[in-house]
Structures are given as structure tokens and as C-alpha cells.
Structure 1
Amino acid sequence: MADEHRDANRALWDERAPAHAASPDYAVQRFLDDPDWLSDVVRFDLPRLGDISGLRGVHLQCHIGTDTLSLARLGARMTGLDFSGVSVAIARRIAAGVGMDVDYVESDVFDAAIALGEGGFDLVYTGIGALIWLPDVRRWAQTVARLLRPHGRLFLRDGHPVLWSIDEERTDALVLAYPYFEQAEPVRFDSPGTYVETDVVFTNTESREWNHGLGELITALLEAGLDLTMLVEHDSVPWEALPGRMHCQDGEWRLVENGDRLPLSFTLQAVKRARALS
């Protein structure tokens, strides 16, 4: 069954990757025209990310690689990994177009340590909208630990699990409609569109998604041998998560009303221990 869920999600991302690359939301042309251009996501991360020049980094679930490329422009030696072959091919073309040496690898995230080797990375980066595609956050945390060298760092910003629980179709109230905690079976959504501006009509419309509570995520990382060094909750996300109820400024979307009632995203950092706790 797990393979069936993964295959459905991969078909969805394979079909959407070209539309995302063509959309102004991903600003591919800006990357080609401006050697200093960074994605909105990475620019938001900069105050917490710090100096990454010279670090060997891997971006898990990198999609078409614009965030990966942005990290490389900040001086890191980056590898991007994604399970969508179409996404990886587009990421390689973008990197070649801007003359950047970024390695992109097609692999399921749970096989990342097999595909890339163990213990070789100073930085594991995971960006917005990645964790909901994973059925098992503990297995993911173990993968992160296997990739990192001792004292290596995980940097994660993602949608807040409370946000993922909200019914996005309700505009009259903030209503919890979906599980906050990880479930064995995914929530299935049938959506004909995507989160960027496009006229493309898609045929693969069903997604399979899992939420993971903050406690589950932190516990998984601690059990995998990482120590938490940062947890910041934000009142914004880089897409219109609740349509019709948000406004955008500098690439980040916030609630128009009652913005103090709902965490929309979070940044988490953790460092791999030199040795396991006794």
C-alpha cells in the first residue's frame, strides 16, 4: 500500500513540475537573468540559516531545485534529491542554464542515505511543504541522522501541523477538519489545480498526505540522535494556504484577520550528536 501511495504522489508531482517551472511563482527566468537572485523561501530563511559557505549540503525533496540553487548561491556545495524524475530533470536544466555546479539525484527520500552515502553532509535542508508527503516521520528522522556527519545540522521550515489540520474551504471560521497527529492511512485529496498560477489542466489530481504533530517530529529527531537547537513558529507561509483569507507581502502570506490565533509555519533546527546518549 505504501508503494501505491508513493506512486500516486509521484505521478502528481511529475505532472505539475513543468507547470511550476513555467509559472512566474518559481521565478525561473529571474534565476537565469540575475546571478544574485534567491528564492523567496531561502531569503526568508536567511536570518536563521546563517553563513553556509563551504558547507556540504543536501536538500531533501527539492522539487525543481530553485531553493537548492539558492543555497548554492550562498556558498554551500549542494545536492538536491527528489523522487520525481521530471522534477529532477528540470532542476538539472535550470542549474545548467545558470552555470551552477549542483548535483541532483532522483531517489525516494527514505533511500537517500543509500543514494548519497552516510555521514557526509554538514547540512540537511528541508523546505516548505515536504513533510506532509511522508508516511513515517520517525523513519525520515533516521534518514536525516544517517546523512549528517557528527555535529552536522538539520534546517527545516515547513507548514505548521495546526495549519495542515484546518479546513481551507471554510471562510467563516478556523475549523479543525483533518488529523493533527500522524495516522497510518493518509488523508486523500482530489484537487484539479496546484498552488501556482497556471492554465494547465491536470489529469493526476489525487494526493495522499500525512500530518505530523510538533511533538512527534521533535521526539523522532531526539530518538534518531539529534538535539534541538531552534524552534520558531511564524505567522506566515509562502503560499496562499487559506484562499480568500490572506494577504501577501514580500513573498509571505498572512491572515487578514485574527493573525495572532494560528501558527502558519515553523522553523526547526537540530544538530546530530557526536555519540548516542547512554
Structure 2
Amino acid sequence: AKYHFGSSIYHTDEFISNKTYITIKETELSFLGNIKDKCILHRQCHFGLDTLSLARLGAKKAIGIDLSNIAIDKASQLAEQTNLNHVAQFICCNIYQIRNYLKINDNNDLFDIVFTSYGTTRWFLDLNKWAQIIEDYLKPDSSFIIVDFHPMVWTFDNQEEHLLTYSYFNCGPIIEYTKGTYTDPSAPIEQKSIRWNHSLSDIIMALIEHHLKIDLFKEFDSLPLNYFNNLCQLSDHQQY
């Protein structure tokens, strides 16, 4: 998060200066629909731009959750800078431990929408726990919305050749050592990451087994960012 805040990928300065600017992309907007007066739980919110965008779109309450204390500190600062802290709140915690931080006393504490996007399931070993928490925080007849890269993306390595390296299925933890970040490959940082690959069927069945009905499922032929750093940009300048 430290190296992401000022990246051109996120347009943070424009978000601060332009009160109508939002970072949620057209694809997510089409799934979210009209969120005016809705209570939304945003999982893996990073430093909060999409959570704050939900507030700008009229949400009654938008709570962002992320594991990184640096990201959550930035998100809270942004909420104050943009005068959205009366709608948006941020919690730093492991999603598996969310019940210790976000209490449910009755249905009034539940959410109309649980939302997550881009780089989601790959950070979780146990999709049953992941889906159980989604179920726990949703009101009856409410919605879980996930927009993410196709799991096939995670089968390629991070090298320039992007070789097919990892199994599409969950064969245990994948440990990678990388230099830089996805926003700046030259950033002076070395990272160890641990992730798990989950197939589409694993993800969908985890949700079904926790009583969520699949109303809509779509796949697309482009990405919203230059994930591999050498993709071709499409004519609309937003997809690769």
C-alpha cells in the first residue's frame, strides 16, 4: 500500500480534488446497480478508494476491511480529506477474524451488499470460511458481488515470459519472491507472498454450499489494468 497510494493506476489525486470522481469501474457498476441508501461491506478494500466511491454513489454506510494497517490508515485519511467519513468506515483485520471487530447483534447489523473485487480468493486457504463469513453478514434477500480476474491468470509466473507455471487447481500454497510491486516494478522493495489457486468451480461451490444462489455469472475478454506489464491497451484506454 505504501507504494500504491501515489500510483497513476489509482488516480488518488483526482479522487481527492474532484468530488464526483469514482474509481469503481463500469463492470462493477453494472453489477452493483443503484446503491442509494444501501449498507455495503467491502472486503479487501486496500486503501479505500472503491469504498469511498461507494459512499459517493449514495451508500448509506460503506465499511471497508483490509489486512494492511498501512492501507487502512491511508483509507481513513482519505475519508477525512474527502469528507466521506460520515458514511465510510475502515477496519484493519484478518477477514477470518472479522467477527471480533464487526459485531452482529441483530438484522440491523447486516448488509444489503457484500462486495469484493480484483485479487480476492487467491489470498485465502479456506474458501469455506471465506464463504461462511459472506453468508453471516448478508441480510435475507441481499447480494454478494465479486468481480475478479479469471483464475487462469494465476497459473502464470511473474517473469517476463509469463510461462504457464502453476496448477489451475488448489495444490497447496504458492510461495513467490518478487521485487517491486504491480504498480511499480522498480520500487525498492522485495516481497514474499503466499497464495492459493482456486478454480471457478471451487469458488462457485463454496458460495452454493453456504446458501447463496448464483443469479448472474459473466466472463470477459479483457482486463481492467496492465496486469502483466506488457499487455496491449484497447482503444478505450481502460482495458487490456
TM-score, shorter chain, exceeding 0.5: yes
Higher strand share: 1
3-state DSSP of counterpart to 2:233: strand
Q: Does 1:221 align with 2:194?
A: no
State which of 19, 23, 26 in structure 1 corresponds to 2:7. 23
Unmatched 5+ stretches in structure 1:
1-16, 255-278
- Shift of the 198–33 alpha-carbon distance from structure 1 to 2, 3 Å rule, reads farther
- Shift of the 200–22 alpha-carbon distance from structure 1 to 2, 3 Å rule, reads same
Between the aligned partners of 2:96 and 2:126, the Cα distance in structure 1 is: 10
State which of 181, 186, 189 in structure 1 corresponds to 2:176. 189
When normalised by structure 2's length, the TM-score is 0.90
Structural mapping, 1:245-260, within 5 Å:
245-248=231-234, 250=236, 252-254=238-240
Q: Does 1:230 align with 2:220?
A: no
Greater relative contact order, per chain length (Cα 8 Å cut-off, separation 6+): 1
TM-fit CA distance, 1:148:
0.7
Residues paired across the two proteins, number: 233
3-state DSSP of counterpart to 1:191: strand
Higher helix share: 1
TM-fit CA distance, 1:197:
3.5
3-state DSSP of counterpart to 2:13: helix
Counterpart AA for 1:187: I
Are 2:135 and 2:212, in contact at CA under 8 Å, matched by a contact in 1?
yes
3-state DSSP of counterpart to 2:81: helix
> In the alignment, which residue of structure 2 is the partner of 1:269?
none
TM-fit CA distance, 1:170:
6.1
Unmatched 5+ stretches in structure 2:
none
CA RMSD across the alignment: 1.9
- Shift of the 209–251 alpha-carbon distance from structure 1 to 2, 3 Å rule, reads farther
> In the alignment, which residue of structure 1 is the partner of 2:150?
160
Are 2:181 and 2:187, in contact at CA under 8 Å, matched by a contact in 1?
no
Q: Does 1:116 align with 2:116?
A: no
TM-fit CA distance, 1:251:
5.7
Runs of 4+ in 1 over 4 A off after TM superposition: 248-251
Q: Does 1:49 align with 2:32?
A: yes
When normalised by structure 1's length, the TM-score is 0.78
3-state DSSP of counterpart to 2:198: coil
